[in-house]
Amino acid sequence: MVNEMTQTIKKALFFKDEYGKEAWLYRIPNNTGDYVDVSSYGSRICGIHVHGENMSMESLLDDSFIKEKFVKSNAAGCLWGGYLGKVTANKVWDVAEEGDNYVLFTCKVDKGEVADSELTLGCQIMWVNLNRLIINYFISAEESTELDFESRIYIGAKGRAMSLRSFCPKIIYDFPYEMDTSESEYRNLSFVPFKEKSPVAVSESDEIKPMLELAESDGLLHYSVYSTLTEATAEEEKAGETTSCVFRMNSKEKVELKSGETLNERVILGIDYIEIPAEDDGEEPDPFKTFMEAVI
């Protein structure tokens, strides 16, 4: 994979699976030279590289995410969770389309593996200016069926102390009991120290919306997730010797698909370096405003 970045997507052979099928690695840059590495093996993110606080390039995922041995033995980095993730993490997905700033992977799931129907999965991975990673998910069914759907986005932990806040109106500490976020420690968009796993943030709207924000407690790095799904959590996950943080987004209820129908969902990860102002400097900046400028 080339080191010198241009504003053009790069493609390289990653490896071949046991059947000789080629797994590809793509590097997708934006106009500021920040870039992501993605692979058709399991439809996964293998690297996120952005300019940090001092404008030097910073890797936000552990280097093991782009190593063949790690990729073949772990689901870490895969964008699909739940049972769909389990049956597709070690498959080479087909490359259906390549664009200037995106790739589209597709994969067939046999009837009986996850649902009472053959499924066609699609995953469009797009990297845009202002460091927004946009994931569009598609599921089509040959026959009427129902299934669970979960999206996952991995970010690096790097030993940082992190704090979390929720933009959702409801929250679940003790499943299945919901409470108003305004009555929890997350009220008034408060940041709460993040330890291992967050409660479930719930928003019933099916529009794209802010869900959770994870920020360095003593730094500038902020991760924000937006989704058309209804529930979101953040939790630490260990894979081999690597500890990462993963955002999980899912539907509150099972997805029901009729024959020939396609499910469309979108999840977005926003990456910002934001200096929190002093109390007398006015209102705290909201990365959602910057996010909207990037994707509308």
| Predicted local distance difference test score (pLDDT) of residue 218 | 81
Q: What is the average per-residue pLDDT within 79-107?
A: 97
157 domain-assigned: yes
For residue 240, CA distances in Å to 15, 49, 65, 227 come to 21, 22, 11, 29
The answer to whether residues 167 and 227 touch, using CB atoms and an 8 Å cutoff, is no
Which residue segment(s) compose the domain that 184 sits in? 10-295
33, two tokens:
């030279």
| Predicted local distance difference test score (pLDDT) of residue 4 | 44
175 domain-assigned: yes
Cβ count within 10 A of residue 48: 25
- Of how many residues is the chain composed? 296
The answer to whether residues 201 and 279 touch, using CB atoms and an 8 Å cutoff, is no
Q: What is the pLDDT of residues 143-191, one digit of tens each?
A: 999 999 999 999 986 667 899 999 999 999 998 899 999 999 999 999 9
237 domain-assigned: yes
Q: What is the pLDDT of residues 16-35, one digit of tens each?
A: 999 999 999 999 999 999 99
CATH code of the domain containing 17: 2.70.98.10
222 domain-assigned: yes
2 domain-assigned: no
226 domain-assigned: yes
As a whole number of angstroms, the distance between CA 292 and CA 296 comes to: 6
5 domain-assigned: no
Domains: count for the chain: 1
For residue 153, CA distances in Å to 76, 85, 244, 258, 281 come to 9, 12, 10, 28, 33
The residue with tokens 């089509």 is: 140
162 domain-assigned: yes
Q: What is the pLDDT of residues 225-274, one digit of tens each?
A: 999 999 999 999 988 888 899 999 999 899 999 999 999 999 999 999 98
> What's this model's pTM, rounded to 2 decimal places?
0.91
The answer to whether residues 68 and 22 touch, using CB atoms and an 8 Å cutoff, is no
